[in-house]
Amino acid sequence: MRLNLKIWRQAGPAATGHLEDYTADNVSPDMSFLEMLDVVNEGLARLGKDAIAFDSDCREGICGMCSLVVNGVPHGPDRGTTVCQLHMRRFKDGDTITIEPWRALAFPIVKDLVVDRGAFDRIIAAGGFVSVNCGGAPDGNTLPISKEIAEQAMDSAACIGCGACVAACKNASAHLFMSAKISHLALLPQGQVERHHRVMAMIDQADVEGFGSCSNEGECEAVCPKEIPISNIARMTREYVRALLVAGK
């Protein structure tokens, strides 16, 4: 296959970026999307040209590092798929593909297709944990948890923190990301003690970081590579209201 690529190039955080044209030749349908970019970069290297910067690590859909908007869709056209799992058999010879970074105020561009998602870490630091120091934990089986609840918690805990939800949202809201962690911990007995503080602190931090509010468009759910449902956001809203009531605000 031969493909026409339009790729976002931006020299640094303060530079202005633009879309640049490239062609990818001899693309095999068995290649992953990122392997196709590796080949383009090898071609650039042979010409002594600076490689197109993009993030990846596990290349199997679990680390959340890869973060490309492909033809306007975070992680590309396949549902429930990270861009590192997307394969070129999804495209046809002669296709034109536009590749851009996540775009959100809270995710500044570092270079080309690489963004800074430190804001997500700071949201977790604000309250996305159970405060137990190491040592002295009781035997694991002293705390039975129904299989159903454990499975539901796991559904929410499956979030990989990639930020596609933010990139897809017209408000650049971090609600799906936050609500996944809040749901995971609110569902489990271990999360009860800090339940109210957690939801308030995380939502406050998201405001500080410059994420937008949620207007229920559902774009986030549609692009989430782990198919985390927006019912998590509803749960987070309930948790928030409850926390406000308890705090008497």
Does position 81 interact with ligand FES (CB under 6 A)? The reply is no
Rounded to whole angstroms, the Cα distance separating 1 from 50 reads 24
- Burial category of 99 from C-beta neighbours within 10 Å (exposed 0-12, middle 13-18, buried 19 and up): buried
The two structure tokens encoding residue 211: 């994420």
| Residue ranges in 46-65 that form contacts with ligand FES under rule CB under 6 A | 56-59, 61-65
Phi, psi of 214 (to 5 degrees): -105, 130
The two structure tokens encoding residue 110: 């570092």
Which one of residues 4, 11, 213, 246 is an interface residue with another protein (CB under 8 A)? 11
Does position 1 interact with another protein (CB under 8 A)? The reply is no
CB nearer to another protein: give 192 or 231: 192
Query: 79 is in the binding site of which of ligand FES, another protein, none (Cβ under 5 to 8 A by kind)?
Result: none
Q: To 10 degrees, the CA torsion angle through 161, 164, 168, 170?
A: 40
- Residues with Cβ within 8 Å of 4's Cβ and at least 6 positions away in sequence, in order, are 21, 22, 23, 94, 95, 96, 97
Segment interacting with another protein, rule: CB under 8 A, options 75-83, 171-179, 210-218, 233-241: 75-83
Query: 170 is in the binding site of which of ligand FES, another protein, none (Cβ under 5 to 8 A by kind)?
Result: none
Task: Count residues binding another protein (CB under 8 A).
Answer: 80
Does position 208 interact with another protein (CB under 8 A)? The reply is no
The two structure tokens encoding residue 123: 């949201």
Which one of residues 1, 9, 63, 73 is an interface residue with another protein (CB under 8 A)? 63
| Residue ranges in 139-178 that form contacts with another protein under rule CB under 8 A | 139-141, 143-147, 150-151, 153-154, 157-158, 160-161
Q: At how many degrees (to 10) do helices 118-127 and 195-209 cross?
A: 150
Query: 66 is in the binding site of which of another protein, ligand FES, none (Cβ under 5 to 8 A by kind)?
Result: ligand FES
Which one of residues 22, 74, 76, 81 is an interface residue with another protein (CB under 8 A)? 81
Phi, psi of 185 (to 5 degrees): -80, -30
Which one of residues 5, 24, 52, 66 is an interface residue with ligand FES (CB under 6 A)? 66
Does position 191 interact with another protein (CB under 8 A)? The reply is yes
The two structure tokens encoding residue 176: 């799906």
CB nearer to another protein: give 125 or 245: 125
